[in-house]
Structure 1
């Protein structure tokens, strides 16, 4: 008798694909924020010692190719400071990466770093440059080992001002090594089972107690609990940018406009965009265009966004890097202007901290003309549109994938912008208000 609580289930029904995305149903079914003031977390962009490992020019393991060295991390901190990026992710900083760690993780140590990585010194160097290190805890699916060190590992980060951590659970399905019921006992669990739901929540709660944000890879599905625990800022949970380096196949043109209306309905995704070189491992060509890489920063939402390419590749594209420097990660409102599942997605988002709007568009392997209705802008307002679009001959299947046109034009509320998207391409637009 009396009131009781049951689990909820939802079905989204809309007249259009865009109507599915422009909806916070599951988020709002969760309990309000339990953490109180979370102003300590700042939405931001970050670079990292990461893509070079996927290219196999550096390694997670120790040795002559080790990526997480003091010199290499300082180089990334300096780059982040020059370009206004708050974070530097460092993978491979701790012991346990040598040998077979996949689905194993027994050798990982979340407190002891490799001899060529000085956490206190690098964290202090980063803060001196208005940059923060982003921590990394790869478990290899061994949550028994991770949970035994969780509190101490997060304390270590907190002491050195590391206020965000990327976690990882790389293992085959059913390959999670969890503590058993008796001391010293272990058992195998599923990635998406109840034991892992409990584990992820524990990590988020322990991190919140130390004012640390969490971005899990190989996560459980987002069900909107980030409303209750706002430090659960993003997660992976689908094929991200790393598959462009080595995946067979890679992330084809249909992938992004499919993600918007499937995976992204659950919540933010740390896709790791920004491969401006359009090159993966061994020089393989990405199935993308230069303009499309910029579009992903608007189309695929995350309050933390990686600038994923190598430093030298990013610096070789100063005009495109200028867009990435400017694009926000925190939005006041979002609207899907055009969309069909697996075909195209055009999304407009307003900067939470200013008057500017941004529009991003991606298409599948079909070239398309996007007619962008600007009637969502305040009536009577005037704007300057800065446009990064595919070149006239651009095509994800040819070297013309690198062609990009950067232009600007005056527009007003109610105008229509016509932008061509090349096969596998896209565009990005910044709308700067002129009549403030």
Structure 2
């Protein structure tokens, strides 16, 4: 019996060896099928198993992704089986390019590339290419469909891209169907995810930080990620049309890049420019007309029910009220004044007219006065989600604004699905948003897009796309029935939505009494409101509050001093959901600005100032939580003090619950 068992065991082991060898041959028989990052730490291998193509990823020999299959379900037949690799090519690229605006001036674009030509051996005989680019901080890949007789116009029903993780990582996510992406990011293991929006950020047990997103979303549907509840595998889920299809395409055709940032720390996630590098360079030519800035608006007064959007006795967009805001903006060197509710259509939110102001809004008088004060009127186009109505007026609307010197427009799409049927992140929505941005560029108009599709780095190609919402912003602190954004929200946003691009969060509320909904409030201290001007990046940033709540408060100095365009950004310390410290250097001076915030816990932060010029002394003007400051019971106490510091200084600062500290560093 023992001899028989040994024979069975021997036969079993031989069988395992044979199967393993077969898999090894299938996976490794390709030549030149590995591409590594320039520093050699990240490796991507492409392989074939049972005529299906897969990729796998490692960093320093540690598995990041197990074999993960690639492919599509097309309307006229699957493109996932019967595949073979025809050719593989390799190349390298290294450049440094300059941003017209951003978190730093220069961006290095350094990667190794592997292109894989794939043949479909079914009766359809189609071809496609998978293009991998591997950077020192992650990778991106996309599919390309060259022009071919066997594939002209086609319909994508599903994209089968997989991300098969070796561990059940902790994630921070919002559900894919969260309206306008305005949700609270919640921690969950991968295995508990249903279908979530990207960016999806993860922390592994070994301490690596990973973010999945996409770059250059053009003529395609947004990618979401679907879990399977039984494993740590995620699969692409494209936002569908109302009729069920995902993408209508015509070869030659390229998908957006599927990207993964791979970082050794949470801080490093925020410093990745991989997404920007996978977008096309600026195609607008001269962009000297594009100007970052900080502005004010009559907006918070509307949320507090002091003003109305529609015409009436309390109309916010009355000429005399706007002129008052322009005077304030001029006095404190704000770049502009945002005015919502200026045009006809607010009564029913359906028939907006974009060249017809209400009778009590004198646009010529307002813009002439603003110009004399070196201030610009920031325009507003709320569409109510009626894209057809908007597109029918688009050229006239931008020409009208251009006539009056309005060079920034905030667009909005509140009102459920686009035209009552299509999702914002569908291919339909992607087409519409691109059309608006490109049309605005013809008139040299900058765009702040609200209720958008999730940003994917298009600001590199179209730098007039300045900032976007797509986040549960500060307006929720005015009217949300759940009481407002919780303290940890802004310690998560920089590592999730913030990785997709500039965030129009609108920090800067100074009055914490909600006259409209007393049970809803801003859940921060005053010092944290200041710090958010640095922590949450946007080249166009609005100070949210009504002007009467600013002028007598000495803390207002930080708001009026803090720029929105930077030459360098560093992240000294952070822990997702708990705290974050960010320092940025002003593009127009040698000054640095620092913001540090915490969640609902009090915290002592140690601020290492090694980012300062080692050969210089600085005056640090510190705005920190005062004695007994507390976001729930006493948000106002703030201490403003000055200290002489240098690059060797380490400041110890006590943060109140949901508190913060904001610092201006001026060279002596």
- Does the 8 Å contact 2:290/2:463 carry over to 1? no
Residue 176 of structure 1 corresponds to which residue in structure 2? 418
**Matching residue within 386, 390, 400 for 1:156:** 400
- Does the 8 Å contact 1:241/1:272 carry over to 2? yes
Residue 323 of structure 1 and its aligned partner are, at CA, apart by 1.2
- Does the 8 Å contact 2:585/2:592 carry over to 1? yes
**Matching residue within 106, 129, 133 for 2:373:** 129
Residue 428 of structure 1 and its aligned partner are, at CA, apart by 0.2
Using the TM superposition, name which of 57-66 and 157-166 deviates more.
Answer: 57-66
**Matching residue within 284, 300, 313 for 1:35:** 284
Counterparts in 2 of 1:39 and 1:143: CA distance versus 1, 3 Å: same
Q: Tell me: higher relative CO, structure 1 or 2? Use CA pairs within 8 A at least 6 residues apart.
A: 1
Q: For 2:256 and 2:312, locate their aligned partners in 1 and report how far apart those are by CA, in whole Å.
A: 50
User: Mapping of 1:7-406 within 5 angstroms?
Assistant: 7-99=256-348, 101=349, 105=350, 107-172=351-416, 175-177=417-419, 188-249=421-482, 250-280=484-514, 281-283=516-518, 284-317=520-553, 319-399=554-634, 401-406=635-640
Q: For 1:259 and 1:216, locate their aligned partners in 2 and report how far apart those are by CA, in whole Å.
A: 18
Q: Which has the higher helix share?
A: 1
- Does the 8 Å contact 1:332/1:352 carry over to 2? yes
Q: For 1:411 and 1:7, locate their aligned partners in 2 and report how far apart those are by CA, in whole Å.
A: 46
Q: For 1:84 and 1:218, locate their aligned partners in 2 and report how far apart those are by CA, in whole Å.
A: 29
Residue 182 of structure 1 corresponds to which residue in structure 2? none
Q: For 1:337 and 1:393, locate their aligned partners in 2 and report how far apart those are by CA, in whole Å.
A: 27
Q: For 1:153 and 1:7, locate their aligned partners in 2 and report how far apart those are by CA, in whole Å.
A: 30
Residue 48 of structure 1 and its aligned partner are, at CA, apart by 0.7
Q: For 1:297 and 1:432, locate their aligned partners in 2 and report how far apart those are by CA, in whole Å.
A: 17
Residue 380 of structure 1 and its aligned partner are, at CA, apart by 2.9
Tell me the secondary structure at the aligned position of residue 259 of structure 2: coil
Tell me the secondary structure at the aligned position of residue 191 of structure 1: coil
Residue 381 of structure 1 and its aligned partner are, at CA, apart by 2.0
CA offsets, 1:98-148, max 9 Å, x none? 13x2xxx2x211110101001111111100110000000000000010000
Q: For 1:404 and 1:141, locate their aligned partners in 2 and report how far apart those are by CA, in whole Å.
A: 42
CA offsets, 1:311-369, max 9 Å, x none? 1111131x111111110000011111111111111000000111001100111000111
- Does the 8 Å contact 1:378/1:413 carry over to 2? yes
Residue 66 of structure 1 and its aligned partner are, at CA, apart by 0.8
Could you state the TM-score of these two structures normalised by the residue count of structure 2?
0.61
Counterparts in 2 of 1:393 and 1:140: CA distance versus 1, 3 Å: same
Across the aligned residues of Structure 1 and Structure 2, the Cα RMSD in angstroms comes to 1.3
Tell me the secondary structure at the aligned position of residue 466 of structure 2: coil
Could you state the TM-score of these two structures normalised by the residue count of structure 1?
0.93
Tell me the secondary structure at the aligned position of residue 555 of structure 2: helix
Residue 641 of structure 2 corresponds to which residue in structure 1? 407
Using the TM superposition, name which of 282-291 and 268-277 deviates more.
Answer: 282-291
Q: For 2:622 and 2:421, locate their aligned partners in 1 and report how far apart those are by CA, in whole Å.
A: 51
Q: For 1:370 and 1:13, locate their aligned partners in 2 and report how far apart those are by CA, in whole Å.
A: 26
Unaligned runs of 5+ in 2: 1-126, 130-143, 147-253
Q: For 2:552 and 2:610, locate their aligned partners in 1 and report how far apart those are by CA, in whole Å.
A: 37
Counterparts in 2 of 1:37 and 1:346: CA distance versus 1, 3 Å: same
In the alignment, structure 1 residue 428 sits paired with structure 2 residue 662? yes
The structure having more radius of gyration, on CA atoms, is 2
CA offsets, 1:278-298, max 9 Å, x none? 233345542110101100110
Residue 171 of structure 1 and its aligned partner are, at CA, apart by 1.9
CA offsets, 1:173-192, max 9 Å, x none? xx210xxxxxxxxx721111
